[in-house]
């Protein structure tokens, strides 16, 4: 359920005081634990260190973020890939194929350079 129109959006006043009158380019990241704070147009260009439960994740505020909450850009869970032994084998084969392709491309470019030198 969304917040009541009568109450308005939640923007932390203390956070607005920290950015008031400051230049976004010269200001260091502003640490905050207010993940529920809605991003307002005054925050554009500033870097916020949004706490994810363990560390502060730097979030650069852009125009597209206005109206969203700070916590949306600081994930709280670390994704570990799916799969086990089979997934590892597939990734190894893919990596070996990439290495072979890179070697083939390198040899082809070296052969082309040699053929230009002999002409």
DSSP string for 4-53: PTTT-----HHHHHHHTT--TTTSPPEEE--TTPBP-GGGTT-EEEEE-S
How much is the pTM?
0.66
Digit-coded pLDDT (tens) for 22-63:
999 899 999 999 999 999 999 999 999 999 999 999 999 999
Q: What is the pLDDT of residues 54-103, one digit of tens each?
A: 999 999 999 999 999 999 999 999 887 777 788 888 889 999 999 998 88
- Quick one: CA dihedral 29, 31, 36, 37, positive or negative? negative
Would you tell me how many other CB atoms lie within 10 Å of the CB of residue 44?
Answer: 15
Give the CA dihedral 31, 2, 42, 61, nearest 10 degrees: 60
Cβ contacts of 108 within 8 Å, gap of 6 or more: none
């Amino acid at each position: 359920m969304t917040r009541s129109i009568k109450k308005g959006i939640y923007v932390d006043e203390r956070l607005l005081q920290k950015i008031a009158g400051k230049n976004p380019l010269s200001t260091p990241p502003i640490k905050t634990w207010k993940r529920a704070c809605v991003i307002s147009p005054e925050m554009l260009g500033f870097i916020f260190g949004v706490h994810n439960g363990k560390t502060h994740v730097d979030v650069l505020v852009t125009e597209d973020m206005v109206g969203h909450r700070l916590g949306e850009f600081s994930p709280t869970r670390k994704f570990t890939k799916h799969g086990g032994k089979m997934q590892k084998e597939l990734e190894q084969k893919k990596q070996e194929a990439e290495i072979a392709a890179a070697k083939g491309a390198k040899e082809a470019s070296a052969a082309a350079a040699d053929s230009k030198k002999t002409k």
